[in-house]
Amino acid sequence: MTYRPRRQPPRWRILTLQVVIAIAFVGLAARLYVIQFVQSDTYILQADENRYDEVSIPATRGIILDRNDVQLAVNVASANVTVTPALLPDDDAEERAVLERLAGLLGIPYSGELDAVDERGIPQRSLLTMVREGQGIAPFRAVVVDTDVDHDIARMIISEQQNFPGVDVEWVSVRDYPTGPLTAHIIGYMGPIPADRADEFEAQGYVLDRDRIGYDGIEYSLQDLLAGNPGLQRVERDVAGQIIRNVSEPRAAQPGYSVRLTIDAELQEAAQEALIDMITRLKEQNPDNLIGYDRGVVIATNPRTGEILAMVSWPTYDNSRFARSIDYPYYDQVSKDPLRPLFNQAVNSLYPPGSIFKVVTATGVVEEGVVDPDYEIECPGEIQLEDRYYPNDPGRAQQFVCWLETGHGRVSFIEAIAWSCDIYFYKVGGGFEDEVEGTGLGIYRLARWMEFYGLGQTTGIELAGENQGFVPSPDWKRRVWGENWSTGDTYNSAFGQGYILTTPLQMINVLNTIINNGVAVKPTLVREIIDADGQVVAGFEPVRTDMREDIRAYWQEEYGEPYPETLDETMRLIQTGMRGAVTIEGGTALTAQENYLPYVPIAGKTGTAEFCDNIAAALEQCIPGNWPAHAWYMSYAPYGNPEISVIAFIYNGGEGSSIALPVASEVMDAYFRLKTERALQEAAEE
């Protein structure tokens, strides 16, 4: 065989390869330089993020008290059971034995897929599934497998710790509502942080699976005050998630502020009992009524300051069922209840106010000079309002009747309020032939006076979902119903019927404005804010708004001259009329003085408001001339120096004088009884 020397590759190939290798090394060196020097801070930060962790320290939530320090919302200890996967026995059989025994104690499935969901709507998992998930993420991090565990079970797990390796009990603070359904609509309840707000709360140091926030009532509206600020501890973890050391001084959690409310829990209880008793009586007396009597409201306030002393909305619900976690079956039940127990009827629901609204019309009538207060108007029991397009056709005329079929005869302004004469308010509200010129007060001016009283807008009370009510107008009717506004519409509006809708809170706000001679006081539930040391950091100051400010601007715009400042006298006349309702013969609230409160001078206004809502319509109960009616009554005492005002409303109750009046009067009686008892107790302790 002939030997042939190996052919050397061309030199250019060698050079090319050398260049490629050189470029690769240069690129690698450049990359190393960038990593080591240019981007070193970035990679160090990423490494630190893997090593270091920020552990949130929960803040103590402030408690909620009534005005006399009765506990309405407090914190109690609750036991959460945790499992640390890395600390479970290494032997599979031993691990299974521990977890199966734990599952049996806690009453949760050991393994398998579950159909149930937790309070956030997240599918619930078996014990083994939760442990395996934690093991795959960070085996040294404790996994919460059950919350709010029975204290006896928790203590047993602690005492038998040697039989439960890897299992521990974590004591946390949860909410408790001692007064439960009595104050549920005021206090509200708490729930898990919703998914759509998770980023917002996590940025503040909250932990999604641990922390809860207010969902309704004071718990919701004062969430930021009550919650405080979570603390922070920076720690170093190893790759398995086990804490190696603390790397900084912890930032202490800032406890939330506590809140002392204006509510008097004992008066609240008396008000609720009075309302329930009347509703029960109505059911017994009228068992065949299709619409039912299952809704009502009672509100008591200090009219001088706007402090809410009692606010009862019926039906109620048990917020203690939501204190530790949302009871899903119960929540599903109350949320689907047609009576809407989760709604605060005092501020969330709208109703026609009926005759208690007449005080608003009365204010406008006197202030605008529609009639002189001493001018007497004939009340024959019924009147015919001719159709302006067919004035000679009696068949097209509308009939308007007074609640007193025989009529009241000649009626002055004060008597109209005391007797609640419908015909008087029809005529002064919308005009009538030669008796009241033109269109009377008219819908446009009536709407302005409604606005002066704060109707058609929220009061600003510290509760979510407050309804602003509804002030109708001809433009609205034309736009929505495609019809022109009629004089009959104005007649109905003049005594709180037709399209006018208000909340009970708005109407007691109207009453308080009259009591204060035209000065509105903002209703409030918050009396004091208290820090963790028990010191008052913010006291209560009434927020007052004089309606004269708006009246002066309106007067200048409407009449081109300064307002004559007649409101004080107008308010005195209305107060006199309300006092007459309780004292003069024929007064619609006379029984309040005779039967309930003979020892204190009071003033009041009854109301019976016809309605045809979706419930009545569906039951075919909206019979012309015989519509169902809500019962209203509002009053205050002592007359001349008021310290309490009360409004009572009963859905479908009928006559306000016989149904709502006794409820409000019993509440007033309870107020003065409690006042006397407490004064005697204080005197005995001195």
Q: Which residue has the tokens 């009963």?
A: 650
3-class DSSP state for residue 584?
Answer: coil
Asked whether residue 314 falls in the same domain as residue 416, the answer is: yes
Q: Is residue 11 part of a domain?
A: no
C-alpha 139, offset from chain centre: 43
Neighbours of 372 (CB within 10 A): 10
* 195 compared with 376, residue with greater pLDDT: 376
- How many Å apart are CA 449 and CA 567, to the nearest integer? 12
Classify the phi-psi angles of 258: left when phi > 0, otherwise alpha if psi is within -120 to 50, otherwise beta. Answer: beta
Read off the pLDDT band of 389 (50, 70, 90). Answer: very low
Q: 325-370 pLDDT, tens per residue?
A: 777 778 888 889 999 999 999 999 999 999 999 999 999 999 999 9
Question: Would you say residue 431 lies in a domain?
Answer: yes
> Is residue 21 assigned to a domain?
no
Does residue 621 surpass a pLDDT of 80?
A: yes
> pLDDT tens digits, residue range 144-192?
888 888 889 999 989 888 888 989 998 888 899 999 999 999 999 998 8
Residue 213's DSSP bridge partners are 191
H-state helical runs in 34-176? 40-51, 92-106, 127-137, 151-159
**493 and 387 both lie in a single domain:** yes
| Within-domain flag for 92 | yes
Q: How many CA atoms, within 13 angstroms, populate the side-chain half-sphere of residue 41?
A: 1
Query: Residue 202 — very low, low, confident or very high, per pLDDT cuts 50/70/90?
Result: confident
As a whole number, mean pLDDT of residues 430-439 equals 92
Q: Higher pLDDT residue, 232 or 258?
A: 258
Give the model's pLDDT for residue 404. 94
Q: Which residues contact 646 (CB under 8 A, 6 or more apart)?
A: 298, 299, 300, 301, 508, 634, 635, 636, 664, 667, 668
Structure confidence at residue 390 as a pLDDT band (50, 70, 90): very low
Residue 325 phi, psi (nearest 5): -160, 160
| Res. 2 pLDDT band, cuts 50 70 90 | low
Contact 52, 236 (CB under 8 A): yes
182 & 303 share domain: no
Q: Which of 170-179, 240-249, 566-575 is predicted least confidently?
A: 240-249
Decide if 611 contacts 352 (C-beta within 8 A).
yes
Task: Specify whether 426 is located in the same domain as 475.
Answer: yes
Of the candidates 171, 192, 227, which is a domain's last residue? 171
Same domain, 253 and 384: no
Q: Residue 6: how many CB atoms within 10 A of its CB?
A: 5
Amino acid at 256: G
pLDDT tens for 93-144 read 888 998 889 888 888 888 876 655 555 555 677 888 888 888 887 788 888 8
Measured in residues, the chain has a length of 686
In a domain, 27, yes or no: no
Residue 299 has pLDDT above 80, yes or no: yes
CATH number of the domain encompassing residue 278 = 3.40.710.10
Closest C-alpha to 578, from 420, 364, 363? 420
Same domain, 592 and 643: yes
H-helix segments, 138-216: 151-159, 184-187, 198-202
**Given a cut of 80, is residue 648 above it in pLDDT?**
yes
Highest-pLDDT range among 102-116, 192-206, 593-607: 593-607
As a whole number of angstroms, the distance between CA 320 and CA 298 comes to 22
Residue 554 vs residues 363, 434, 547, 561, 682: alpha-carbon distances, Å: 15, 28, 11, 10, 50
Interatomic CA distance for residues 535 and 528, integer angstroms: 10
Last residue of one domain, picked from the residues 212, 233, 260: 260
Which three-class secondary structure state does DSSP give residue 505? helix
- Is 606 strand, coil or helix? strand
3 state DSSP class of 256: coil
- Look at residues 631, 628, 633 and name the one whose alpha carbon lies nearest to residue 613: 628
Please give the angle made by the CA atoms of 456, 364 and 348, to the nearest 5 degrees.
Answer: 20
* Contact indicator for 592, 630 with CB cutoff of 8 Å: no
My answer on whether 434 and 502 are in the same domain is yes
Give the end of a domain, one of 260, 275, 292: 260
Q: What is the DSSP letter of 70?
A: -
CA distance 543 to 548: 15
Instruction: Report residue 531 CA to chain centroid gap.
Output: 24
Q: What's the number of domains the chain is made of?
A: 3
- Across residues 463-477, what is the average pLDDT? 96
Q: Answer yes or no: do 206 and 283 share one domain.
A: no
At residue 4, the pLDDT reads 59
Q: Which residue has the tokens 């035209």?
A: 518
Q: What is the dihedral of CA 619, 620, 626, 627, to 10 degrees?
A: 60
In a domain, 41, yes or no: no
Of 539 and 647, the one with more pLDDT: 647
Strands of the 296-302 sheet, one edge to the other: 307-314, 296-302, 644-650, 629-637, 603-610
Partnered with residue 383 across adjacent β-strands are 400
Q: Which amino acid is at 593?
A: Q
Of the pLDDT bands very low, low, confident and very high (cuts 50, 70, 90), residue 239 is: low
Q: What is the pLDDT of residue 114?
A: 64
Nearest to 186, CA basis, from 354, 96, 309, 6:
309
Name the residue range of residue 496's domain. Answer: 265-322+334-529+541-684
Dihedral of alpha carbons 400, 403, 406, 412, sign: negative
Element (H, E) at 270: helix 265-285
Backbone angles phi, psi at 186, to 5 degrees: -85, -50
Mean pLDDT score of the chain, rounded to an integer? 89
Range scoring the smallest mean pLDDT among 96-105, 395-404, 578-587, 601-610: 395-404
Whether residues 517 and 650 fall in one domain: yes
Of 105 and 462, the one with more pLDDT: 462
CB-based burial label for 261 (10 Å; 0-12, 13-18, 19+): buried
Q: Under a CB-based contact definition with an 8 Å cutoff, are residues 123 and 105 in contact?
A: no
User: Residue 400's pLDDT band (boundaries 50, 70, 90)?
Assistant: very high
Asked whether residue 43 is domain-assigned, the answer is no
| pLDDT category of residue 393 using cuts at 50, 70 and 90 | very low
Give tens-digit pLDDT for 21-68.
878 787 777 777 666 666 565 555 555 555 566 677 788 999 999 999
**344, 456: one domain:** yes
> Which domain CATH number covers 241?
3.90.1310.10
Longest pairwise C-alpha distance within the chain: 147
Question: How far is Cα 107 from Cα 98, in angstroms, rounded to an integer?
Answer: 14
Same domain for 227 and 349, yes or no, is no
Domain co-membership, 249 together with 297: no
Share of the chain above pLDDT 70, in %: 90
Question: Per-residue DSSP letters for 359-383?
Answer: HHHHHHHHHTTSS-TT--EEE-SEE
Question: Does pLDDT of 318 surpass 50?
Answer: yes
Q: Is residue 197 part of a domain?
A: yes
Cite the DSSP H helix spans in 534-620.
548-559, 567-583, 590-591, 614-618
Concatenate the DSSP letters of all residues of 435-502 into one string: TB-TTTTHHHHHHHHHHHTTTTS----SSTT----B---HHHHHHHHS----HHHHHHHHTT-TT-BB
Lowest mean pLDDT among 236-240, 470-474, 490-494, 662-666: 236-240
At residue 325, the pLDDT reads 73
Mean pLDDT for 244-252 is 72
The answer to whether 618 and 593 are in contact (CB under 8 A) is no
Average pLDDT of the residues in 500-509: 98
Q: What is the distance between the terminal CA atoms of the chain, rounded to a whole angstrom?
A: 132
